[in-house]
Structure 1
Amino acid sequence: MKPITKYISYIVLPAMLAFTAACNKKLDVIPGQQISPEQIKTEDDVNGILMSAYNSMQDPNAFGERYIFLADLFASDYSADGFIYYQGTFQPYAQVNSRQVQKSGIIPEGVWRRGYVIINTANIVLANLDKVSEGNKAALAAEAKFIRAINYYELAGFYGLPYSAGNVDKNPAVPLITTAVISTADLPASKQPRATVADVYKQIIADLKEAAANLPDSYGEKKNKSRATKYAAYAFLARVYMAQGNYTEAAKAADQVIESGNYSLVPSFDAEFNNTSLSAEDIFAILQTSQSNAGTSDNGLVTFYALDQRNDVLIKTEQLDQYGPGDQRKNFYTYSSDSSSFTTSKWRDMYGTIPVVRLAEMYLTRAEANLRAGTAVGDNPLNDVNKVRSRSKATPLAAATADDVVQERRLELAFEGDSYWTVKRLQLNVGSMQYNNNRLVFPVPQREVDVNSTLVQNPGY
């Protein structure tokens, strides 16, 4: 069993923090320290902790890589209808590719640990709102809850059965921890059993609704979409409602984003990726720099996809065959010098911005949700789909069904982590495996089971 002090270090922000004296200073990173309550004295301190949560989400175990890459790798059976295959030698990824993840493996441990570091950072902010001025308190709380919610959404999807599997009041997801854990005195609050899928989703929706109600539309002229906004919260609400099959609310949430007027499709598909700043299409994104990024040799989306990096991902030629004549998305792939292999050009340039949710997804979500619910929220579904297709010079559709929209998601959102969630919510197979197969979720990390006897392992592990 792990010592208690080590357990705390897994769930407490590993305090690579030094609080800033002024808002415009960058957070200094001092490894090996931990936060103590006595260090949190001012509103600037609380803001510094909040900013560290954004920095933490750039980690390869979160949006810097694995939330996105593993979602596609898990949901793709290359021998059947999958579109990517891991051909590298790093065994933890090969195990995900073959659905043979080990409960003591570094991937389930890393994703779990980083997710709870981020969640606990948000909880620390919420526990210290008494140090925040009344005028800023609601927005700061909303921002922390946004961060907590989107990470709970990822963790619940990776470690528990999907909402579509039913039995949501009994199926376990992940522990629901909403109080800050900083010291041994707080340890009992962290040793929670796995909450049900229903309870975790209830918390996610409550947090995102509060975020949508209290966050600003934007952050001034720069429109810093690497921070949470009202419409980023609505965009994630749309994702959550889609996962629940609540299509009426999904259409409404996506419509809030689209009709805000804050976002627009960039003129050409390739202009949305490999940017050093945020695009007009980005609703929420991870802004990486050479000082703050997911890695340059062993981790990161570019590391795995780019031909001049590890190039560990093999893409089927059938992926390209799905694009019709004139569709510019078919050309957005990079070929090796001898044309023996190719990869997506979405993750080509190191230190580029990682779009987490963008406007094209909202158009497709509103279209599919309206078609499935029989509602008429916003524009006609056919128009929504064709806005996305026309941007890429694809031939407009004459009519659109819900299945047509799902196919458009495969074309537009490939390699962005969407496939896992689509498979789960629509109860699709991954090769011969049904969507609710135990091997299509991660095991609860053995390290966590060792220190928390209330945790129940997923079947088959």
Structure 2
Amino acid sequence: MQLKRYITYSLISALLLTGTACNKKLDVNPANNITPDQIKTSDDVQAVLFGAYNSLQHFNAYGERYKLMADLLGSSGQVRFTGTFTEYRDIFNKAQVSSSAVVSGIWGRSYIIISSVNTVLDKLALVDASIKDETEGEAKFIRGISYFELANFFGQPYSAGNQTVNETAPLVLEPVSSYDATRDNKPRAKVSEIYAQIISDLTDAVAKLPEENVNGRATKYTALAILSRVYLAQQKYTEAATAANEVIASNKYELTSTFDKAFNNTVNSAEDIFGIQQTDQSNAGTTNNGMVTLYALAPIGRGDVKVDPAELTLYEDNDDRKAFVYTDDNGAYYTSKWSTLYKSIPVVRLAEMYLTRAEANARSGAAQVGNATPLQDVNTVRERSHATPLTTVTADQIVQERFRELAFEGDWLWTKKRLKMNVGTKAYTDNYLVLPVPQRERDVNKQLTQNPGYDQ
């Protein structure tokens, strides 16, 4: 597909006017594409919003590639790719090309999602007053998190500096009902511009979202959790600690009693602040795509992604997180985090908020945020996994705890980039730790520049 197809209308919904919006369900099955002039009622707008949620579970989004491609790019010491998919192996080897269907898929699905929520925001006047703020908040949350993923994959990190020069992806903020080359061929936004938009969207979402919502839909605390990630990426430590602390202090979430219970659940677990809902009827794939498909052994999955033995050296022997890795008959290691089909995929968990608050407080040099010290926050996470409690802790040790807790969840690369850490032998700013702008998009939109290191 070309960018014009992504930002014209792929609104994933049959309008389902028989109560979808009232029941607040997320099991919306994609059907016929619709155009903005067909959206006439509040239920119509809700159907488009639910289509955006549905699209987040696609394998080109959180159903697989937002997480897996980040881990393959940042693979040194964490995972190994041993499958037959050439483009996956290229990303694992940092040899991806601008014609890659994987790269185009991530770009394209992100703009499908953004296009849907831009339409929701444009049609807010149709939405019932009782759910208007909530609808706006959900749409802005989805747009904010989508642009954050685009910024991560297609631009240099905020930590690299030059935020007013380095480029990411185009900012598309208005609905598009038909392709207009003059209007729709936008240049890539600067890092400073896309971060400003992400923060604006997520801040608005915090103000408008409810504190509780049905399973799988965003809340105020979902937006705050992602906002804490954004602030951490910017090294705005007081702001990151404050956002994470609000989530923790809400008492809406709690760590699962044991580490294994945080994964492979039919619905969100007690510690899932946001998760992607999957069923046997609606999922990211079971043959060639999906987190479980790529990570789990046959007959459940392909077993293409193995745990690097170096990852296991991070854990004590008595740590449940180490025990959550298993071996096949040949002694290869696999994670149990992604081992059961048709389960919820955690996007952000409460454990991350403890570690974010701990690290941000340790680095800020300002007054502590919250009622726990960094040491207490880290030990809260460690004790759940029966790791030996620490007696002292530094910011760097907290990062190591993050690598242990959030392994195989797509966090490794972004943490290394924000802290200017090498990824294997590559510097955090290496050209091939950034994906190329898809060539098919550049063929259509001549304003799109290419990232350094790729064909210009």
Moved more, 286-295 or 33-42: 33-42
The structure-2 alpha-carbon separation of the partners of 1:36 and 1:428, relative to structure 1 and needing over 3 Å to count, comes to same
Alpha-carbon distance, 1:13 to partner: 4.1
Alpha-carbon distance, 1:7 to partner: 4.9
Asked if 2 retains the 8 angstrom alpha-carbon contact of 1:68 and 1:417, the reply is yes
Match of 1:71 in 2: 70
Alpha-carbon distance, 1:34 to partner: 2.8
Match of 1:364 among 355, 358, 363: 355
Match of 2:413 among 420, 437, 440: 420
RMSD: 1.4
Match of 1:353 in 2: 344
Q: What amino acid does structure 2 have at the position aligned with 1:316?
A: D
Asked if 2 retains the 8 angstrom alpha-carbon contact of 1:35 and 1:182, the reply is no
Match of 1:29 in 2: 30
Alpha-carbon distance, 1:182 to partner: 2.0
The residue correspondences of 1:219-238 to structure 2 (distance < 5 A) are: 219=213, 223-224=214-215, 226-238=216-228
Match of 2:209 among 211, 215, 218: 215
Match of 1:134 in 2: 129
Match of 1:376 in 2: 368
Q: Deviations over 1:5-25 (max 9, x none)?
A: x65433234244210211237
Match of 1:335 in 2: 327
Match of 1:205 among 199, 214, 218: 199
**d(CA) in 2 for partners of 1:137, 1:62:** 26
Count of residues in correspondence between the two structures? 445
Q: Deviations over 1:207-245 (max 9, x none)?
A: 0001001100002xxx52x11100000000100000001
**d(CA) in 2 for partners of 1:238, 1:13:** 32
Alpha-carbon distance, 1:156 to partner: 0.6
Match of 1:123 in 2: 118
Q: Secondary structure at the match of 1:343?
A: strand
What TM-score do you get using the length of structure 1 for normalisation? 0.94
Alpha-carbon distance, 1:96 to partner: 0.2
Q: What amino acid does structure 2 have at the position aligned with 1:41?
A: K
Alpha-carbon distance, 1:134 to partner: 2.8
Alpha-carbon distance, 1:28 to partner: 4.3
**d(CA) in 2 for partners of 1:425, 1:143:** 27
Q: Deviations over 1:389-435 (max 9, x none)?
A: 00001000000100010000111000000101101100011122100
What TM-score do you get using the length of structure 2 for normalisation? 0.95
Match of 2:56 in 1: 57
**d(CA) in 1 for partners of 2:62, 2:445:** 26
Match of 1:324 in 2: 316
Q: Deviations over 1:117-139 (max 9, x none)?
A: 00111101011111112332222
Q: Deviations over 1:322-352 (max 9, x none)?
A: 211321111101221x252120000000111
5+ residue gaps, structure 2:
none
Asked if 1 retains the 8 angstrom alpha-carbon contact of 2:11 and 2:48, the reply is no
Match of 1:196 among 182, 190, 209: 190
**d(CA) in 2 for partners of 1:229, 1:440:** 32
**d(CA) in 1 for partners of 2:384, 2:222:** 22
Match of 1:14 in 2: 10
Identity of aligned residues (%): 52
Q: Deviations over 1:300-321 (max 9, x none)?
A: 1111110122111122222222
Q: What amino acid does structure 1 have at the position aligned with 2:308?
A: K
Moved over 6 A (4+): none
The residue correspondences of 1:230-379 to structure 2 (distance < 5 A) are: 230-308=220-298, 309-336=301-328, 338-374=329-365, 375-378=367-370, 379=372
Moved more, 123-132 or 42-51: 123-132
Moved more, 311-320 or 170-179: 311-320
Q: What amino acid does structure 2 have at the position aligned with 1:335?
A: T
**d(CA) in 1 for partners of 2:128, 2:105:** 36
**d(CA) in 2 for partners of 1:288, 1:190:** 33
Asked if 2 retains the 8 angstrom alpha-carbon contact of 1:390 and 1:396, the reply is yes
Q: Secondary structure at the match of 2:326?
A: strand
Q: What amino acid does structure 2 have at the position aligned with 1:317?
A: P
Q: Secondary structure at the match of 2:321?
A: helix
Match of 2:175 among 165, 180, 184: 180
5+ residue gaps, structure 1:
none
Q: What amino acid does structure 2 have at the position aligned with 1:376?
A: Q
**d(CA) in 1 for partners of 2:439, 2:411:** 28
Asked if 1 retains the 8 angstrom alpha-carbon contact of 2:295 and 2:335, the reply is yes
Match of 1:454 in 2: 447
